């Protein structure tokens, strides 16, 4: 049985499926997660396959049958939709000294970072670096309630390395202008974690429809924006706290920055040098 999110497991197994089973997989991924709650007959009809093919597909994923598959999907949705308030009873720290609690959090965070990098898809990381280091592309970044801090952190680094980097404006008129002008050369970097924000999926869809590319930083349960993303970088965020940890994502961001620096080489160095001269001339540094 899959140990990670079902959508991630399905995508990983696409190459091992039969052509008919692959049709079922694509229908599930295109309408994830709601498509997984259709009846076998409806899912088979939408995929243009037989009902036994749907059964074989879920068996191949490691489930005893379709009800078992749907039960796993329900459990995953409970995790995906968790909020700090709903997590509080199960994650509130037990009575320990502050020193013990701090050491435990540190150990847990290190393990989460290790798992994140162990499960980071190499192809997606390479593709993210290729898109972000391509000077012909225009990069726009946007985050959520808390993750806007990570979007700013990544964006400020990219601004030192290359031109044509911006944050998605907050004001409606400016945001509309930016989105109306989207083209094939645009790359949207989105940070979207559980308690997913519907506008992030809408933004990703707009970019995809304009022919641009979406680089998505998300959690192990996968944002709904995943279906519109060229690159998906999942991170381990669960913590023994009502609040998810963004430290593994920060580590992923720093890895991406390091790789972009390496990919851009002298171009990045020259851009940084020009930036330093400009800042000194303006008395900013």
- Say whether both 143 and 233 belong to one domain: yes
> Does residue 218 lie in a domain region?
yes
232 forms bridges with which residues in the sheet?
216
> Are 150 and 261 in a shared domain?
yes
- CA–chain centroid gap for 184, Å, is 21
71 and 121 belong to one structural domain: no
> Distance from CA of residue 285 to its chain's centroid?
35
Same domain, 245 and 121: yes
Q: Is residue 137 part of a domain?
A: yes
Q: For residues 65 and 58, is the Cβ–Cβ distance under 8 A?
A: yes
Last residue of a domain, one of 63, 80, 97: 80
Per-residue pLDDT band at 14 (split at 50, 70, 90):
confident
| pLDDT computed for residue 275 by the predictor | 92
In a domain, 11, yes or no: yes
Q: Are residues 165 and 52 in the same domain?
A: no
- Domain assignment present for 45: yes
| 61 shares its domain with 145 | no
CATH number for the domain spanning 121: value is 3.40.50.10490
Q: Which of 52, 80, 108 is the last residue of a domain?
A: 80
Domain end point (choices 56, 80, 104): 80
Q: Which helix (H) or strand (E) holds 129?
A: helix 122-133
In terms of domains, do 10 and 148 share one?
Answer: no
pLDDT at 91 over 80: no
The neighbour count for residue 279, using CB atoms within 10 Å, is 11
pLDDT of residue 35: 87
pLDDT of residue 239: 66
**Does 73 share its domain with 122?**
no
- Which pLDDT score is estimated for 241? 72
Entry pTM = 0.73
> Are residue 228 and residue 125 in the same domain, yes or no?
yes
Return mean pLDDT, the chain: 88
List the strands of the sheet with 213-219, edge to edge: 165-167, 138-142, 186-191, 213-219, 231-235
Has residue 88 been placed in a domain?
Answer: no
What's the mean pLDDT in 214-228? 89
pLDDT of residue 129: 97
Clarify whether residues 126 and 212 are in a common domain: yes
Q: Say which residues have a Cβ less than 8 Å from residue 249's Cβ, sequence separation at least 6.
A: 116, 147, 150, 191, 193, 217, 235, 237
When mean pLDDT is compared over 34-43, 86-95, 246-255, the highest value belongs to 246-255
- Are 158 and 263 in contact by the 8 Å Cβ rule? The answer is no
Nearest to 142 by CA among 202, 82, 84, 195: 202
In this predicted structure, which of 85-89, 223-227, 229-233 has the lowest mean pLDDT?
85-89
Packing angle of the helix pair 247-264, 148-161 (nearest 10 deg) = 10
Range of the domain at 225: 116-281
Say yes or no to pLDDT of 212 above 60: yes
pLDDT at 252: 97
- Return the pLDDT at 202: 95
Does residue 244 lie in a domain region? Answer: yes
* Window from 90-99, 123-132, 188-197, 240-249 with minimum mean pLDDT: 90-99
Tokens matching residue 221: 């349960």
Give the number of domains in the chain.
2
- Whichever domain contains 47, its CATH number is 1.10.10.10
190 shares its domain with 256: yes
87 belongs to a structural domain = no
Enumerate residues 6+ apart whose C-beta is below 8 A from 58.
65, 66, 68, 69
Q: Is the residue at 86 inside a domain?
A: no
Give the model's pLDDT for residue 95.
55
- Whether cis (ω within 30° of 0) applies to the bond prior to 33 is yes
132 to 164, 253, 285: CA distances (angstroms): 10, 12, 26
Over residues 183-193, the pLDDT tens digits come to 999 999 999 99
Whether 48 and 183 map to the same domain: the answer is: no
Q: Taking phi first (over 0 means left), then psi (-120 to 50 degrees means alpha), and beta for anything else, what does residue 11 get?
A: alpha
């Amino acid at each position: 049985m899959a140990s990670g999110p079902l959508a991630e497991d399905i995508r990983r197994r696409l190459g091992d499926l039969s052509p008919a089973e692959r049709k079922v997989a694509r229908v599930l991924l295109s309408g994830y997660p709601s498509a997984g709650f259709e009846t076998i007959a409806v899912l088979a009809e939408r995929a243009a396959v037989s009902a036994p093919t749907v059964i074989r597909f879920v068996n191949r994923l490691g489930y005893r049958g379709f009800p078992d598959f749907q039960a796993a999907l329900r459990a995953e949705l409970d995790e995906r939709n968790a909020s700090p308030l709903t997590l509080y009873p199960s994650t509130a720290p037990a009575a320990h000294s502050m020193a013990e609690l701090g050491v435990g959090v540190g150990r847990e965070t290190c393990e989460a970072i290790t798992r994140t990098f162990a499960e980071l898809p190499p192809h997606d990381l390479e593709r993210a670096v290729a898109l972000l280091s391509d000077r012909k592309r225009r990069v726009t970044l946007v985050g959520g309630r808390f993750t806007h801090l990570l979007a700013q952190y990544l964006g400020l680094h990219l601004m030192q390395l290359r031109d044509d980097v911006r944050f998605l404006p907050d004001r409606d008129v400016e945001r509309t202008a930016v989105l109306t002008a989207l083209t094939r050369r645009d790359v949207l970097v989105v940070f979207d974690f559980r308690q997913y924000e519907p506008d992030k999926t809408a933004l990703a869809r707009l970019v995809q429809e304009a022919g641009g590319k979406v680089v998505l930083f998300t959690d192990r349960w996968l944002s709904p924006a995943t279906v519109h993303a060229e690159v998906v970088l999942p991170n381990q965020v669960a913590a023994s706290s009502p609040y998810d940890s963004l430290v593994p994502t920060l580590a992923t961001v720093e890895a991406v920055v390091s790789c972009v620096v390496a990919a851009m080489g002298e171009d990045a160095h020259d851009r940084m040098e020009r930036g330093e001269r400009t800042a000194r001339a303006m008395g900013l540094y």
